[in-house]
């Protein structure tokens, strides 16, 4: 008799936890899909030779941080100018590919993304790794920090 009562209680607790957790799991999946869509739009913009379209994935703020081989730089405008300087034409831009290694939720407002980037180019291929900090601002996900090597 005691065993069936405990079993019933355990089942009720399990179902309560499951029902409570499902909306959070669905929300996390939606957030991850939204972040992946941002990255897919960046790839599409880059591969069409449109750096401005690619940059729509970044936070349009002076506080945007980009860390590359020359160290940290701040600001959306600075990042855009550096991309245009480093990739002046479609031959230099090539075709971009991202391979996501990890999407890690830090809070409802932040995600940490790790991946690999590759450029297939007629002038020589390039590849490296990146870590991105995404922040949800005004119901949309943007990159607020990018460390690419």
Q: Following DSSP, what letter does each residue of 78-119 receive, concatenated?
A: HHHHHHHHH--SHHHH-EEEEEEEEEEE-SSSEEEEEEEEEE
> In CATH, what number is assigned to the domain containing residue 94?
3.10.450.50
pTM of the model: 0.82
Tens of pLDDT, residues 7-49: 676 677 665 565 655 554 556 789 999 999 999 999 999 999 9
Q: What is the pLDDT of residue 128?
A: 98
Q: What is the pLDDT of residue 1?
A: 52
Domain enclosing residue 12, as ranges: 2-148
Q: Any residues with CB less than 8 A from the CB of 109 and at least 6 apart, and which?
A: 135, 136
What's the number of domains the chain is made of? 1
**Rounded alpha-carbon distances, angstroms, from residue 140 to 16, 87, 91, 96, 105:** 31, 27, 32, 23, 15
Tens of pLDDT, residues 55-103: 999 999 999 999 999 999 999 999 999 999 999 999 999 999 999 999 9
Q: Residue 124 — very low, low, confident or very high, per pLDDT cuts 50/70/90?
A: very high
Tokens of 148: 């690419």
């Amino acid at each position: 008799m005691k065993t069936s009562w405990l079993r019933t209680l355990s089942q009720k607790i399990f179902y309560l936890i499951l029902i409570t957790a499902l909306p959070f799991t669905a929300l996390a999946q939606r957030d991850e899909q939204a972040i992946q869509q941002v990255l897919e739009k960046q790839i599409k913009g880059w591969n069409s030779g449109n750096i401005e379209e690619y940059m729509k994935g970044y936070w349009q703020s002076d506080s945007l941080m980009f860390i590359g081989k020359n160290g940290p730089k701040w600001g959306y405008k600075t990042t855009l100018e550096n991309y245009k300087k480093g990739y002046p034409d479609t031959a230099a831009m090539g075709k971009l590919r991202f391979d996501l290694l990890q999407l890690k939720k830090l809070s409802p407002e932040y995600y940490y993304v790790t991946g690999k980037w590759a450029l297939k180019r007629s002038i020589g291929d390039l590849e490296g790794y990146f870590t991105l900090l995404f922040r949800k601002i005004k119901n949309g996900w943007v990159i607020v920090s990018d460390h690419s090597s």
